[in-house]
Structures are given as C-alpha cells and as structure tokens.
Amino acid sequence: MNYDFDICVIGSGAGGGPIAYELSKAGKSVVVLEKGPWFKTEDFSKDEIACCRRSVYTPNLRDKRHVIEDKNNNDDWVGKSTYDTGRDFWNGNMVGGSSNVMSGYFHRLKPEDFRLLSEFGPIEGANIVDWPISYNDLEPYFSKVEKIVGVSGKVVAHPHLEPRSTNDFPYSKTAEHPIAQHIDNACNNLGFNSIPTPRAILSQNALNRKACSYSNYCGSYGCSTDAKGSARAALLNPALQTGNCKIVPNAMVYHLESDNTEKVTSADYYDENGKSKSITAKIFVVACQSSESSRLLLMSKGTKHPNGLANNNNQVGKNLIYSGGGSGTGDILYKNYNDTEIAQLNIRGLFVNRSLQDWYIIDDKSFGNRSKGGTIDFLFKHANPIAKTNSQKWGSHGLVWGNPLKNKIKSYFTEGRHLRFEIFNDWLPTDNCFVTLDPDVKDKWGNPVARIRIGNHPHDLKVGNYIEKKAVSVLKQMGAENISSSISESPPPNLVAGGCRFGDDPNTSVLDSDCRAHDVENLYVTDASFMPTGGSVPYTWTIYANSFRVADKIINTL
C-alpha cells in the first residue's frame, strides 16, 4: 500500500515536536496536523490584548468548549459548559502548542516519581501505580532535551538532586533579578536549600536561535527572539529544514480511521475552510494535550474498536491528572528599603529563578508517614498590567470605583513588588478525574466536546498545605507584607496529564511502555497522556523527554 507519509503527527506541541524532529532527521516523511494557526516569530509581540485578553492563541469558547464536571453543594457531579461559565480550559492552540507561551520552568522528575506505589505505598481512593520504565530509562532524554531544546541553569547540590549523566547544564543560567539574593538569604536563615530554577530559555545565542532579551513579558507570550524552547522554535523549524516535514495548520483532526487488522489507516480532518480531508500514513502519533487526545481516540470508533480507538479495555480518558498545590503572594514594600535597594528591586525583565525542593519527599512525623511532597517556585507575577488592574476592581464590599479605585491601583503598581510562589505536588489519579465525550454539547463542526470530571484526592491538599507553610515562612523571613496564599482543589487547566496511561497490563493501561497503544499496532500517544502519576514539577520537560524516547522506539520499528 502507498502511504501519503511515513508518520502522521496530530498536535504540534511538546509531545509532537520531538517526533517530527527526530523522524524527519532520520529521513522519514512526516506530516504534522495542527488544529490552530501557524504564528511565526515575527507575529509575536508583547501585546496584552492579543496575548491574553482575546481569543487569539486559544479558540473562542463559542466555537470550541469543554464541559467541566464539578461537585455541587449536595456532593453531586454537575457538568457545566465552559461557554456558560467562562472557565476556559484551553491552552495554546497553534503550531508549537502551548510550549510557545510557557514560562519554561524546567525541573526533571526524580527517581521516586517512577515508582510512587512501591516507594510510598497505596493511598485509599487513589489509583497509584509504578511506571513501566525507570528514571534511568528517561535520564538520557532529559539530557537530550537540555541540549536540543535548550535548558539554561546551574546544578547545585541539594538533598533531592536527581542523578545526572552530565555535570551541569549545557547553557549557563539566565540572568537573575536581585531579589533572588533576598530569597537566598531568607532560605539560608531558615536552613532551606534554595536552588536556581532551570529554564527552557537560552541565555546565549545558540541552536540558530537568539538569546533571551529579558523583555519582562515571557509566560503567556510568544517569544520574539526564539530563546524560549518552544516546540516550534526548537524542533519544528529544524524539522522543516530537513525537507522531510510538512506542517498543516488549521487542521482539526476529528477521526482516526481503523481497518479490520486493528491498524489506523487515515487521519480525517477539517481544513481551514471546514472541508473534510484525509491523510494516510504508516504510523500515527497523537499528541493533542491530554483531554483532547483522549477525546480524539474516543471519537475514533471502528469495527475493531467499537468503544473508540485503543479503548477495548475502557481505559481511555481515565486517570486524568492535573497538578496539585496552589500559590501565594507577598508584597515586598519599598518603604522597608533604602534607595539603592529600591532601584534594584524595581528592575524589570530579569528572572527570579528560585526554587525549593527540600520537601520533594516529606519525612516528618508531624505530617504522617513518609510521603511524596513537591516543589516551590518563586517568581514575579506576569507583567500583564490590564489583568493586574482588573483584579483591583473588587474590594471587600463589591466593586470599587472612582478615586478609591484609582488609589488602590496606584498603590498596587508603585509601592512595591509582588513576589509570588507556586507549589507543585502530585494530583493523585482517582476514579473522579477523567474524560468522556459529552452526550449533548458539540463543537462548531458538530463533534462531541470533551466532558472532564475534575475531582481531586484529599491527600493532595494535605501535601499542598504542608508545603504552603514552608513557602509562606520564606516570604515572612524576607519581610514581605500582605501575605496571602491558598491550596486549591480546582485544577490548573494548563497542567494536565494522564488519560492514556502507559503500563504493562492492557487491562489497566492504554499504552505499552513504548507509548504504543496496546491494541493498535501503529498508534502512539506522546503528549502527557502517558503519565500514570504526574510528579511534582511542571510537565513540559517530561513530555519532551518521553517524546524523544518514543521517537527512538518508532525509528527502530521502521
């Protein structure tokens, strides 16, 4: 049989990028189908309206939405359309996916993350399993990402430093804001080990990309120098240069056709004019970001796959996970500093880049049994002035306007800096966090939207609350005022994984250890869907590393 391409990749973000990069470099013909538009570097500017106030990088909820199932006051699960609630669950829908708009806080997983069950034991109500691979299997690929995507940092010894095959990062750490020293001092006084946060941002010209310009508009924005290691800049652009890779933007894949041998034969998609088209390939790789990958498989019913592709054991969409934890802020008020210090604190653009992983594993009797903990990242709030101002319109008794509002805004902007922390801990997989197809709500093409139940496990909050106290103690030690923080039961939609977890047993997993579907010979899933447990760090580095690993597996089969 003749195929249009050797490999068809659906989704062009961190999960799809390494496949396109490696396979096209290996001389295979690759097509990447991306439902969003194709923005080039010159299309990005530091424009809050385009970035964050309108539906430019994400779909308008009129056209494409989700249904989110949350618990109501009677403890019943109730689904509401995100169009009705405004609770947007989209991330970056464009060539390169949401890696274009990430901040690039890059932490590796640690060996214990691969064996949560055997290391810490079961937790009632959580579907915890060990991974079918170990840290050692993924380590070479974490290193590969450092070099190819570009990770800047400095290795500093600390109690939970993961084993490395290289001594240090290939790129020196990005420039740091003077407040990093204040954080280090506070941590020293408290006996904590603050470490420089590795970033997927080039600190120097390299890889045919320019160094960071420290524009102060990083997270949520596309990068104007390509310093940020988006799948677009770091992987798809080089893939295109091989001449073996084709990217089709505005291509919404709605069905994967399968034949009587259980193999996928074509990807059916709507082009930008809404016309249905089809592409054949030897191998198909799905990487649409977890909930949409599960949705596509569930929509792709076939003779041999009556419940959806790769779903003969009814596992697709189950064990969806987010990131547990929460965030907090404290005000570093200028009134407490001298003029020289104020001038330093007022510098814009440089990165805070400080993390704490002292409680990545909690071994503290006051907490209970030895347990998996998490990571604290320190950062300044995103520059976005409109969003910041908008949050000032609510006072203790409703809306504020007139001079009281203006005084509030001015004080917020000019009297100090707002130092933020974010806590990342495991969102344990449970039977109450999963994706199905909504029976009623459709997208603009008439296809069922993803219906996502977002239940969490109480243990996640217990861990988050423990780490929150440590983070708050740093802010207090720094002399921050107006400290507020919260550990949330609500999932951050941008930090999503699972739904097609990998494992050795087809009865309890969707993918095998190579991220190939147990029951579909030529189908792989390479976004964060494969993760049975999430670790306690942002997902992007792990997605990249695993996708590079799977690329090697695919090359071996061709």
Partner 1 sequence: MLDPDVKSVTDKYINKKIDRRSFLIATGVFAGSVTFGSLLSYYYKNSLKSSPFNKYQDKILKEVQEHLFPHSDDSPGASEINALHYLHFVLTDSDIDDDNKNVLISGVDWLEEECKTTYNKSFLELSFEEKDAIFKDIEDTNWGYRWLSLNLTYIFEALLSDPIYGGNTSEIGWEWLKHTSGLPRPTSDNMYGKS
- Minimum distance, C-beta of residue 88 to partner 1, in the bound complex (Å): 5
- Minimum distance, C-beta of residue 70 to partner 1, in the bound complex (Å): 11
Q: Any idea which residue has 């939970």 for tokens? A: 160
Cβ atoms within 10 Å of 81's Cβ, excluding its own = 17
Residue from the set 102, 129, 298, 345 that interacts with partner 1 by CB under 8 A = 102
| Contact residues for 428 (Cβ-Cβ < 8 A; gap 6+) | 123, 126, 127, 128, 321, 324, 456, 457, 459, 460, 533
Residue 319 found at the interface with partner 1 (CB under 8 A): no
Q: Which is nearer to partner 1, 519 or 527 (CB)?
A: 527
DSSP per-residue string spanning 440-503: EEE-TTSPEEEEEEE---HHHHHHHHHHHHHHHHHHHHTT-EEEEEEE-SS--TTS-EEES-B-
- Minimum distance, C-beta of residue 198 to partner 1, in the bound complex (Å): 11
The interface mask with partner 1, positions 204-223, x = CB under 8 A, is ---------x-xxx-xxx--
Residue 70 found at the interface with partner 1 (CB under 8 A): no
Is residue 199 within 8 Å of 106, Cβ to Cβ? yes
- Minimum distance, C-beta of residue 302 to partner 1, in the bound complex (Å): 32
Residue 77 found at the interface with partner 1 (CB under 8 A): no
| Contact residues for 213 (Cβ-Cβ < 8 A; gap 6+) | 224, 225, 227
Residue from the set 105, 131, 192, 351 that interacts with partner 1 by CB under 8 A = 105
Q: Nearest-5° angle of CA 411, CA 417, CA 422?
A: 125
Is residue 269 within 8 Å of 280, Cβ to Cβ? no
Q: Which is nearer to partner 1, 53 or 154 (CB)?
A: 53
In the window 247-306, what residues touch partner 1 (CB under 8 A)? none
Q: Which is nearer to partner 1, 106 or 466 (CB)?
A: 106
Q: Which is nearer to partner 1, 182 or 199 (CB)?
A: 199
As a whole number of angstroms, the distance between CA 430 and CA 457 comes to 7
In the window 370-429, what residues touch partner 1 (CB under 8 A)? 379, 382-387, 389-391, 393, 398-399, 401-403, 405-406, 409-410, 413-414, 422, 424
Q: Which is nearer to partner 1, 83 or 359 (CB)?
A: 83
Cβ atoms within 10 Å of 116's Cβ, excluding its own = 24
- Minimum distance, C-beta of residue 307 to partner 1, in the bound complex (Å): 30
Residue 465 found at the interface with partner 1 (CB under 8 A): no
Is residue 219 within 8 Å of 102, Cβ to Cβ? yes
DSSP 214: -
In the window 522-551, what residues touch partner 1 (CB under 8 A)? 538-540
Is residue 288 within 8 Å of 11, Cβ to Cβ? yes
- Minimum distance, C-beta of residue 62 to partner 1, in the bound complex (Å): 8
The interface mask with partner 1, positions 110-139, x = CB under 8 A, is ------------------------------
Residue from the set 15, 18, 104, 196 that interacts with partner 1 by CB under 8 A = 104
Task: Return the axis-axis angle of helices 179-190 and 458-477, rounded to nearest 10°.
Answer: 110
Q: Which is nearer to partner 1, 103 or 357 (CB)?
A: 103
Is residue 541 within 8 Å of 145, Cβ to Cβ? yes
Residue 170 found at the interface with partner 1 (CB under 8 A): no
- Minimum distance, C-beta of residue 487 to partner 1, in the bound complex (Å): 11
As a whole number of angstroms, the distance between CA 346 and CA 334 comes to 9
Residue 484 found at the interface with partner 1 (CB under 8 A): no
Residue 444 found at the interface with partner 1 (CB under 8 A): no
Residue from the set 3, 26, 48, 462 that interacts with partner 1 by CB under 8 A = 48
As a whole number of angstroms, the distance between CA 80 and CA 72 comes to 11
Residue 52 found at the interface with partner 1 (CB under 8 A): yes
Residue 98 found at the interface with partner 1 (CB under 8 A): yes
Per the structure block, which two tokens stand in for 505? Answer: 């047993």
